[in-house]
Chain A
Amino acid sequence: MKRTVDALAPTPGPSPRGGGEKARAVISARDLSLTFTTNDGPVHALSNINLDINEGEFVSLIGPSGCGKTTLLRVIADLEQPTGGSLSVNGMTPDEARQKRAYGYVFQQAALFPWRTIAANVGLPLEVMGLDKAEVARRVKENIALVNLAGFEKKYPWQLSGGMQQRASIARALSVEPAMLLMDEPFGALDEIVRDHLNVQLLKLWAKTQKTIVFVTHSIPEAVFLSTKIVVMSPRPGKIHEIIDCNLGTDRPLEIRETPEFLKIAQQVRDGLRAGHSYDD
């Protein structure tokens, strides 16, 4: 069954899956490097990263711990400063993009403020932006509904399950109405059943909102299930090993993970990780 939400979506219609169309690059990295100076000498967290992410794409960064996938996301978010190369986010420097609130960031933990209700947490960035009360209320209501948390507005974070908390944090990220969503292993701390459920919901959300999503994960099935493009990274120094297109179409039920197409891409990702020495001792 074709999802009806696509009909609601504004132009440019369904996302350019597979990147076949001519699309605008919202994130563009050229020879991007980041070296941390530590007592044990320099650590090359990122080395010569070249990457274009187009509008409306769902891009996963995958790799073992220490491959720099989270660091890359943090550089895009202007939470880390690169030491070399160039990076443009939405046509601006990362710093300008952050100041213009071009992205919403979702952390591995929900990171909700325990003293705020769910509604107040979702409204937090809007208060920071200085929006008026009516607009805050409108956006809070809209985004809470979007992540299916209507009815939980007045609850405090501890009264919600981990999965619901993470949904609230996604609503919070969306409430600033950003052009893109940066997600750092958002479901990594959740159990697999909740994770599957949220994966399906995230895909629906993506179809509905048309956001560009950059998604850090270390789960191959999650990356293949969600993405239009999978960036395989390898450690020491952190670099991009391979970029794999993932054309599984718009409609992706959980069962798709048993299909030969899915398994083929998963195998490709695994081969990429192996070739990047991710499985070495």
Chain B
Amino acid sequence: MMTSASVFRTRIIPVGTIVLAIIIAWYVAAYRMNAPFQRDQNERSNVTVNTSEFIAQTMSQPKPTMPAPHQVAVNLWKNTLGVKLSSNRSLVYHAGVTLSSTLLGFLMGTVLGIIIAVGIVHVPALDKSFLPWIIASQTIPMLAVAPMIIVILAAVNVTGILPKALISTYLSFFPVAVGMVKGLRSPEVMHLDLMRTYHASQWQTFWKLRAPASVPFFFTSIKVAVAASLVGAIVGELPTGAVAGIGSKLLAGSYYSQTIDVFAALIAGSIVAILLVVLVDIVGRFVNSRMGGRPA
């Protein structure tokens, strides 16, 4: 067990230093990007201010080019804990909307990825014929195609959570498929020979050897997949004029130059992403320890 002192030394100090550096850089950037507009503004209204007052002004514009960290923090606070959950202003509500399509898409993408990987590993023809297509599928710029998918699906009366989830699926099946192909092929030749000496069927070899051997690869790939799913869900919300979700908040904010709202929504999205990745990590560690893994 780490002592609290060593936690402080090895974790809190380095992480805190970086956070502090980012915040300082952010404030400097906010000042520099907001200063021209503020200077202009002050000249027009013939106001003269000293330096510290001027700096304060650049940090408190209602629609800044670059909002200062504390403005975003206040906005984030107001729109999460300051409003009712059901409110249209609540970022928790919007994050929840995005999260539901993220999880649905992630689930479908993971299942699809596993099915593809199992097929590729067991059917030699698929290995040759299918893998290039899968790789090609990821060269399509999703951001550009997403609106088309949403519109086409809407035309055939598929609306709501599913179109967004499908974009998440599209982005998340790839890391799972690639990771699981590697994972299912990870058993050593010796282990495969061993199963052969037992006259094990392909099915038994899969469940008793390939599948358990692929578990670490599985968790590594779904960690990437879950983050990609979130991006997919947000991208899916952008072109629809969606009424809810992190993506709709981003879009609405940029329409009305509500940069503070945009930043708050971005940070809400990041927090969701971090929570998802951490959750996957915790489950992965738990499964690893249940499978007799050496504690890392």
Q: Do A and B come from one complex?
A: yes
Stretch at the interface among A82-90, A122-130, A256-264, A268-276: A122-130
Q: Which residue of B lies closest to A105 (CB)?
A: B197
Does A152 sit within 8 A of B, measured CB to CB?
no
Q: Inter-chain contact count A-B, CB under 8 Å?
A: 55
- Knowing A124-B198, A125-B198 are in contact, say whether A111-B188 is a contact too (CB < 8 A): yes
Does B155 sit within 8 A of A, measured CB to CB?
no
Does A44 sit within 8 A of B, measured CB to CB?
no
Q: How far is A156 from B289 in the complex, measured between Cα atoms in Å?
A: 11
Q: How far is A125 from B194 in the complex, measured between Cα atoms in Å?
A: 9
Q: Are B198 and A101 in contact (CB under 8 A)?
A: yes
Q: Are B208 and A107 in contact (CB under 8 A)?
A: no
Q: How far is A129 from B294 in the complex, measured between Cα atoms in Å?
A: 30
Q: Binary interface profile of B, 189-216, with partner A (CB < 8 Å = 1, else 0)? A: 0110111111110001000110011010
Q: Are B191 and A128 in contact (CB under 8 A)?
A: no
Shortest CB-to-CB span from A273 to chain B, Å, is: 27
The majority secondary structure among interface residues of chain B is helix
Shortest CB-to-CB span from B284 to chain A, Å, is: 14
Q: How far is A199 from B190 in the complex, measured between Cα atoms in Å?
A: 23
Does A32 sit within 8 A of B, measured CB to CB?
no
Number of interface residues of B (CB under 8 A): 21
* A157 neighbours in B (Cβ, 8 Å): 292
Residues of A112-154 whose CB lies within 8 A of B: 113-117, 124-125, 127-129
Q: How far is A249 from B193 in the complex, measured between Cα atoms in Å?
A: 35
Taking Cβ atoms with an 8 Å cutoff, the residues of A that contact B are: 77-79, 98-99, 101, 103-105, 107, 109, 111, 113-117, 124-125, 127-129, 156-158, 176
Question: What would 24 A/B residue contacts be, using CB atoms closer than 8 Å?
Answer: A78-B196, A79-B196, A79-B197, A99-B199, A101-B198, A101-B199, A105-B194, A105-B197, A107-B190, A111-B188, A111-B194, A114-B291, A114-B292, A115-B291, A115-B292, A116-B292, A117-B292, A127-B208, A128-B199, A128-B200, A128-B204, A156-B292, A157-B292, A176-B198
- The 5 tightest CB contacts between A and B, nearest first, are A156-B292, A115-B291, A128-B198, A105-B197, A125-B198
With A98-B196, A114-B293, A128-B199 known, 16 other A-B pairs at CB within 8 A are A77-B197, A79-B197, A98-B199, A101-B199, A104-B197, A107-B190, A107-B194, A113-B191, A113-B212, A115-B213, A115-B215, A115-B292, A128-B208, A157-B292, A158-B292, A158-B294
